[in-house]
Structure formats: structure tokens, C-alpha cells
Structure 1
């Protein structure tokens, strides 16, 4: 198996009657999933979708995502899963930027799609999952296709995924991941995390995120049963783990925190769990120790970026003993995977830093993205001519080869596993008539790791009402991007050249903490 399409073909041939996916009361065997994706591929081809075309998907996790994923993979097209937490403005930008020709929307998000009527520039086919008789039905459209594999030749260098990750300019960027990128990780996942054909894999994170869509492919690659969770809540996750005998899961720290707080934690059945991989944001020692104690399984931390096709560093289970001799390693991200090069460099010069001295983390491996969709300038800024990708994270190596994350070169805020780019929020705040200048920074949060906070300057003669400004932001931004607080100051600290000194704004909030990230 070297491509996404070869995964479904292989397992449909070798284990046709084994269950591939479960979501609520629905389930599909590998043979059924193969047949459905064939029908979707044929239906897509009938409406003009071919090699290299984009198909947009806006819904919560469900079986339809995988039908579309394998269908587009068989055609050489690309599925673009859109963050369902975004506003209509944000969704419209992504769908248009991707030049999607088909837009598949869950019935729950029809009101949002209606807001985009007339604003979608390339979409010619809109399909609704679970809609009523008055809506164009995805299921009827799918079932009208022929169960015939399109048998298009796919190369490893062809694009497999297009995940959107906002840039520091405020505009989302389409991260292009090839089949070769994806298969730089998948074959090693059994060794790293113990997933095999007999595992039961939990897909709880949103599939528009590399932590959801990428982790899903780990289980699919090995041919195990995957249990898809549509609406994530701590009590529900605990129930699903016991009911389906989950063995492996990827979760963000905030979920591990909440799963310890609900009453179901005391009575939940965690006996089937073998390993929980966590990542996407830092975890506190208290949350980790509590999870280890409550769930009784092994834990591993994964560090990576969307641009590195997910995990490139793992902190293995043996380094997760809060009482052990290497307890300090709980603060580490881990060690690089085989085939992954990491180096720590001075952000300004690129000179390599010695052990123990912080610098920007650069990486080079098969997992480095192809680039950003139609953004040569952004790609060149991210990956140099020698193939080194700048992560934007500040870290250092210890004497044993473990990498520690210390700070960020970029201003990105990671809140509950969601990436928030301050420039996008600042651009919205600056549209308010009372705001003359704005800076958004990450401040500590015991629940989310960190949260966005706004520091603004009022226009002469105007008054900024913090609550009113937050309400204004909610009209234009997804909820998780809205600042949790607003401070009004006379002026923002800047260099003589006008560069904003966000470190000075952050310092009071992070005073007394060991690291400048949560």
C-alpha cells in the first residue's frame, strides 16, 4: 500500500466482511466501503470531477467523509474537509480558495450554506447529507453511481489531502500533503503506537484536522475497526470506549482533562485501552498523571504540524512515569521518528545551536508537505532550498536527544488543539469603528492550555467597550477565536520600525511560569 486508494482496495480484497467503520448505529464493512466509494467516484465523474479537482466537505465526523475520501483518492481528486466551527465568511473563503467544484454539506449546516448562496465561485453541485426531500440528497446521488472502480493511476507525489491551516497574514492556507507524505508515517505507526489489524481505533477529533484525518488513516492503513465519534463530549467518549472496546485513541489534552471531571470517570470501563496518544497542545503533569491513574493504559505524546503530515516526534510510554527517575521527560515532546531530521537553529541566521540552547526547530523528512496551495511565496518561506521546514516553534535538545518545546517564533495560539492566528483576529478587531490598534496574544488557560486575549487602543474621541467588542468579534469569527478578554491601553509597544513587541504584552500573563507556552 502506497496510496490512499490502495488502502481501501487492499482491505476490501483481503478482509471484505470485516467491519471497517462504526458511527453510532451505522457500520460499514471494507467491501461495503469500497463499493460506496466506487459509487461516489462514478457520481463525481458524472458531474465533471476529475484528476486534481477539489471536493469540499462541511459536516461533523461521519461515514460519508470516508466514502468521499476514498472516492476522490480513486479519481486523483482531493477532498477538502472544512472546519465546521467557522463562520460563513471563513467557510466561503476556503471553498473558493480551493476552487471546489462539489460541496457536500451536512443538514445541520444548511443555514450556513444558505448564507453563501451566490458567493461560491466554482461550486456547481451542492449535496446535502441527511437533508429533507426538498434538498439535493447526497445518499440518492451516491446510490445513483455505478459500483465500478475508476482505476485511475495515482502516483506517490500526487496530492492526497488539503488541510487548511491559517497563516500569519490572517488568510487560511491550503496545506498540500502527498501520498508519499502520508506513507512516510503510516508504515511506522505499528512500531510507534502498536496499532494493528486487531486494534479498535477511536476517531474522536474532527476530520478537518490532521489530528483527526491523519489519525484515522493510521487505523485504516492497518485494516482495523475504526469507531467514529460525531459529537465529542467527555461522558460520551467514556461510554464509547467501554461499549466498543476501544484499544487505541488520539486525544487532545483538554479532553483528557474533562474526561477526569465527569461522574462517568469513576464507573467507566477502560480495561480495553492499550494506548492513548495525545498531542496538538501541551499537557500539564497533573492532567497526565490523573489520566494515567484513571485509565490505566499506556500513553504517548506526539508532536508535529499539519505541514509535517502530523507526528514527527513521539514521547514513548516508558517516559510517562510521573514518579520515575526520568520524570523531567514529561516536559519533553520526545525523540524524532526514524527518518526524521531535526535541528535547532538561530531564527535570524540559521546557525545550528548547541545542546541545551533554544532556537527554532527545523525538520526535514519524507513527511514535509508538498507546499501551500497556489502560494509559492508562502511555501518558499516555510521550506528552504535544502528541504528544511521551519516549524515556527522554539525548542532545544537535551543530552539524551529529547526535544523540548520552549516558545514560538510565530505568534500562533493553540487553544484546546485549535490553531488561532492572531493576525486574523486582529484584522477583525481593527474593523470596529472604535479600535485604532489591536494585538492578540495567548494567555494561560487551565482548561484550554491558552486562550486568545486582545489588547487594543481606542480611536481618538472613541471609547472601547470590551464586552461589545467581543460581541462584534463573535459576528465574524468562530467562537474559539474570540478573545476571552480585552484590555484597553494608550499605546501598544513597538520597535522604532513599527514591529509590535508581543513578547512584552505576553510577559505579565506568563510571569512565574517555566515556559512561555502552556
Structure 2
């Protein structure tokens, strides 16, 4: 469980920096950063932000691929009582603008691969910009930090203080800021690390999923929480993952199913040594039986499936390795001991085991709410603390949760959430489109792929490639339709609501399940 003295994000680095300064905290490429190094460096970052006017409660955005800078920034902000806003770097400039403006970020740290996104919207921002890399106008991060002393500002935050704003797509089209507190992380990270995720101080964990995601940063925090070493890969590269597993003798890793499939098809997989692996945690999107069975044959009984969402600080259920039996492979496991699950009918009453309803959950992992969005918060969190997941499922007599479908229309493609309304809103701005619906269809590689069903305007002959290219200028790549069907009319209810289920059904007939 939780390491002694750790109850907040800032405590992770303060505690291990003091008690285990020479233990490697992060390894990236040839670089080894000890807990002492990271403690000192994050204090310098805290001083740099303080000098720039950032204080307790202020939001600072971070846009960069995986690297040491993420940890320096988030721990530095935590030492100030400021709030980290990790931004999905796959987003297009208009989407990033919404996150920065909605969060009220006073500063943004951005890597050089994404300078163009910030330059495109810079005139609309009030935030100061710090560059990881060389930029003509913005201060360079390393030099900006180096000008300040490695002195911890000593701000102490409470359990319910906001520490992260993590933006997740919303049914209304615009991403919502999920407010996560120290207590959320203490419950989740401290709970899963040594127990379900088998992370001990001598573990060597691999952080390869994007750190702006809960699957990336939440996993890395669990390792650091225990004082374990984390090997950080900049991108998802199957060959690099195999090399890291062998070179560093990785014991614990978390990936999405698409990465498992990539690994199984990577040259060298047959001879790689996986004997030191304790657990491979997977989740966030559907996995096919074929990939799972092949994975178990190659890696052994080390798989642990999880289910959760950003609003619950990540996973709330787990199916352990020994539970990967034929009759349970479609289950996402049972809730952690500190997590409660209900399956609820539309009238708010619990349903009987085996009956499908909406999955509700209650634990100290549940978010504080959505940033500046009381309506969405009230629609998701009940007055007595239950969180409505929006997922349909059932619990069997033994307490195993099975996900059945989505009550919402969300698509999960390669672990990324895509809400159709975002894509539909963009497609509808094209003058050749009179109506559009977006659905998720099965995809062998990504779990689900985005498909658009479009009604053209009269006399329009726009094609699939042209419409996708139009969307590419306005949406992140993972949200783009991979295919477009053109139809004369969309199926609708008498009240005018599009029958998404009717559009999806032909594509999903015979599929193992409709949700990851």
C-alpha cells in the first residue's frame, strides 16, 4: 500500500529524494536520474515558476512527448501547490486553444515538435510560453530553470487540494477538465502499486503510454510512489519496447491492447527474454481473443486487465493473470477492495446479477468534478458520491464485471477517447455536407475505428479523401474518420434523433463485445 509519509503527489519526490537520493528514479535513453536529482531539479522548476508569478492553485499546461521534463514540471508544480494540466499533444491547434483557455493556464511548457500548434494560437492566449528546445521568442526551459536555486518552496497541500486537471473529451463536443486531488491519487496509486500491480521498491517499470493520459502518468506515479525505477520511452515503438524489456529487465509494464498486438508481430519477439516480467497491465480499449491468447502463450500468465476512466483516476476493476480463464476473458474483473460498484436501472434502482444496467462506482478515486462545469459535474456525480460511468454492463454472481455497451456514443480507438459529436461538428461545417453521423466500427489493430456516415448536399460530389483532408486541418489525427459512407438519408427516430445503433449494428454483428 502507500509508502509511509506519502499522501500527496509532492510527497513522492520529497520522501524518496530525502530517503533514497541515490536510487534511480527515471531512465531515459542513456540518462539516469536519481530520486535526489529529480527532487533537486523539481525544486528549481518550482522556484522558476514562482519567480514567474505562478502560485498555489494556478494552472500550468504541458505539451510534449514522454520525457524527464514532464516529471520535473509536475513535481515542481506540486511543490508550489499549483496545478498541472497535461495536454494531449495529438490535438490540433484549435483543440489545444480550448484546453488552455478553459483551464485558464497562466503558463505553458511546450516541446519543439509542437511549437507550430502554439504559434498558431499564440495571439489568442494570455499564458506565457516556455520552450523545450530553441525558439526565437520563448525562453528555453533548461536555461530558464537553471537560473534558480534547488530550494523546495515548502508548500504543503491538503488531501482535497486540486493537483491535476486532465482533459477528456465530452459528449457536448468540447473536452472537459477532470479535477483530480491528492486524495484521489493516494487512494488509487497507493492502493494498486504494491498490491494488484505488484510494484515493489526493486521493480523496474516501463512507462511507454503517453504521459498526458492516466494510463501513462498514473502508471509512472505508481512506480515512483513505491520508490521503484521507471524506464521512460519517448514514443510507442515496439522494437524499442522489446529492447528496453531486455536491456533493463523490465518487471512491470502497462500498455493498451494495440501495443500488445504490435509487440507480437515485432521481429525478435520469439527470442526475447520475458522471464523477469511480473505483470503486464492492459486496458483502455477492446482486445480480441486472438491477441490475448497469443499474448498469454508468449508472455505467460502475467496479464492483468483493468477498467476505469480519467474521472475515477484510472482503473477501478482488475482481472488478474490466474483469472484469465476461458469463461472470464470477456470480464474486466472485480473492483479493488476500496472500490464499490453498482449496476443501476434507469429508475435509479440496483438491478439483479446478470442484468444489464449503467455501471456506477464510488470510492476515494472519484474526481472532485469537472472544471468550471457544474452542470456536467451534477450529471456525472450523484449527491451521495456515486459516479455514473455512462457504460452499460452487468455483474455476475461472483462479482465479476462485464461491459456490454456504451450508454454514450464514445469511441475508443487505440486507447484514445473520441466523442462523435466533436467529429460531426467539424464535418457539418463543410458546405458539401448536409447531415453526418459518426460511429465506431471494429478494427483489428485499434479496437475501434472512426467511421463517418454522410449525406451530401444537392449537386455535391465530394469524396471520402477530400472530406477526411478537410477534417485533418481541424481535428487530431486519432479523431479523423478512417472511412466515409455516403448515404441518401440518416435513420432517425420520430423525434429526429439519429439511430446510431442502427448504423453500428451491421458492423458489430458477431463481434466479441461492443466495448473495451
Q: TM-score, normalised by structure 2?
A: 0.97
Instruction: Report SS of the residue matched to 1:184.
Output: helix
Aligned to 2:480: 482
Cα separation, 1, equivalents of 2:514 and 2:334:
21
Q: Which residue of 2 aligns with 1:75?
A: 80
2:55 is the alignment partner of 1:55 = no
What do residues 69-99 of structure 1 show as CA deviations (whole Å, max 9, x unaligned)? Answer: 1111011101111111111111111111111
User: What's the Cα RMSD here?
Assistant: 1.3
Deviations 1:108-167 (A, max 9, x none): 2112222122021x30x2111132677521000111111111111200000121111010
Contact 2:210 2:235 in 1 (8 A): no
Q: 1:267 Cα shift? A: 2.5
Contact 2:209 2:235 survives alignment (8 Å): no
Instruction: Give how far 1:471 is off.
Output: 1.0
Structure 1 runs of 4+ with >6 Å offset = none
Q: Which runs of 5+ in 2 are unaligned?
A: 1-5
Residue 158 in structure 1 maps to residue 157 in structure 2? no
**1:118 is matched with which residue?**
123
CA, structure 1 residues 242+297, in 2 after alignment: closer, same or farther (shift >3 Å)? farther
CA offset at residue 440 of structure 1? 0.2
Cα deviation for residue 196 of structure 1 reads 0.8
- From 416, 419, 438, the equivalent of 1:418 is 416
Q: Does structure 1 conserve the Cα–Cα contact (< 8 Å) formed by 2:43 and 2:149?
A: yes
Match of 1:350 in 2: 348
**CA 1:283–1:162 in 2, change beyond 3 Å: closer, same or farther?**
same
User: Does residue 217 of structure 1 match 2:221?
Assistant: yes
SS in 2 for 1:74: helix
Aligned residues: 510
Q: Deviations over 1:19-65 (max 9, x none)?
A: 11111122211111011011010110011000110111110000010
Q: Which residue of 1 aligns with 2:3?
A: none
Q: Is the 8 A contact 1:464 1:488 kept in 2?
A: no
1:471 maps to what in 2? 469
Give the CA deviation at 1:371: 0.4
**What is the aligned partner in structure 2 of residue 363 from structure 1?**
361
The alpha-carbon deviation at position 363 of structure 1 amounts to: 0.6
**CA deviation string 1:193-250 (max 9, x = no partner):** 2101000011110010000011111001001001111021111110111111110001
Shift of 1:514: 4.1
Whether 1:87 aligns to 2:86 is no
What SS does the aligned partner of 2:360 have? strand
Q: How is 1:130-149 mapped onto 2 (pairs within 5 angstroms)?
A: 130-131=133-134, 135-149=138-152
Contact 1:336 1:342 (C-alpha < 8 Å) held by counterparts:
yes
Deviation at 1:188, TM superposition (A): 2.1
| CA deviation profile, 1:402-456 (whole Å, cap 9, x unmatched) | 0001100000000010000100000000001011111100000011101110011
Deviation digits for residues 305-359 of structure 1, max 9, x if unmatched?
A: 0000001000011112xxxxx411011000011121111112x322211111111
Asked whether the 8 Å contact 1:274–1:297 carries over to 2, the reply is no
Secondary structure, counterpart of 1:174 in structure 2: strand
Aligned with 2:182 (options 179, 191, 199): 179
The alpha carbon displacement at 1:461 in A equals 3.0
1:458-495 deviations in Å (ceiling 9; x for gaps): 22332331221111111111111111111111211111
Distance in 2 between residues matched to 1:159 and 1:202, nearest whole Å: 27
The answer to whether structure 1 residue 105 and structure 2 residue 134 are counterparts is no
* Residue aligned with 2:215, SS: helix
1:35 and 2:40 correspond:
yes
Alignment partner of 2:436 out of 435, 438, 455? 438
Matches of 1:132 and 1:255, distance apart in 2: 34
Is 1:170 equivalent to 2:169 in the alignment?
Answer: no
Secondary structure at the aligned position of 1:192 is classed as coil
Matching of residues 368-517 of structure 1 within 5 Å: 368-517=366-515
Whole-angstrom distance in 2 between the partners of 1:470 and 1:28: 43
Match of 1:194 in 2: 198
Q: Are the equivalent residues in 2 in contact too, given 1:440–1:453 (CA < 8 A)?
A: yes
Q: 2:311 aligned with 1:311, yes or no?
A: no
Q: In the alignment, is the contact (CA less than 8 A) between 2:359 and 2:388 conserved in 1?
A: yes
CA distance in 1, matches of 2:120, 2:271: 44
Question: What is the deviation of 1:271?
Answer: 2.4
The answer for the alignment partner of 1:323 in structure 2 is none
Report how far residue 293 of structure 1 moved. 1.7
Contact 1:276-1:297 within 8 A present in 2 as well: no
| 1:262 matched to 2:266 | yes
* TM superposition shift of 1:269: 2.4
CA contact (8 A) 1:238 1:269 kept: no
Unaligned runs of 5+ in 1: 321-325
